[in-house]
Amino acid sequence: LKFGLDAKRSVDKGEVTLALENIIEANTYLSGIGFESSGLAAAHAIHNGISQLNECHHLLHGEKVAFGTIVQLVLERSDTDELKAIIKFCRELGLPTTLKEMGISKIELAHLKVVADAACESSETIHNMPFTIKPSDLVQAIITANEISSKLV
């Protein structure tokens, strides 16, 4: 969070700055650690679930993971201030924080169930969470994350 927005601004300007170098280093490190330790959790599984929806195929990996991170924070019952800070950060970077921003104009439970079922498959990283998450829990968390983010617009 400390360097993210400045790093994005650097990229937008075509400049290499300390903030950008710090983000590149952190990203490279975390990518390697995540690959080696299977440290991925709900956010990436939610990405995989969102990828099942045709209306979300235009989204980049990080855009889907950003929304998945918000949903994961809801699942974890994170502090409201932390959740709001992450939503604000995502918005500052231009990342989607609501279903509408991802291209889902009408929320249909059947579509959310497709996302949740895919994210909760037995091989998915959502099972790395320290508690059990059922598809119905995930559907509710997606709805809650969307509602919280929508109210902050």
Domains (range + CATH), the chain:
1-37 (no CATH), 40-151 (1.20.1090.10)
> CB-based burial of residue 46 (10 Å sphere; 0-12 exposed, 13-18 middle, 19+ buried)?
buried
pLDDT of 119 reads 98
pLDDT of 28 reads 83
pLDDT of 27 reads 79
Structure tokens at 54: 């045709």
pLDDT of 34 reads 62
Residues of the chain with pLDDT under 70: 34-39
pLDDT of 29 reads 81
Per-residue b or e along 11-36, where b marks 16 or more CB atoms closer than 10 Å to that residue's CB: eeeeeeeebbeebeeeeeeeeeeeee
Taking a C-beta distance cutoff of 8 angstroms, is the pair 107, 27 a contact? no
User: What pTM was computed for the model?
Assistant: 0.87
pLDDT of 30 reads 75
CA distance from start to end of the chain: 20
Residue 138 has phi, psi (to 5 degrees) of -70, -40
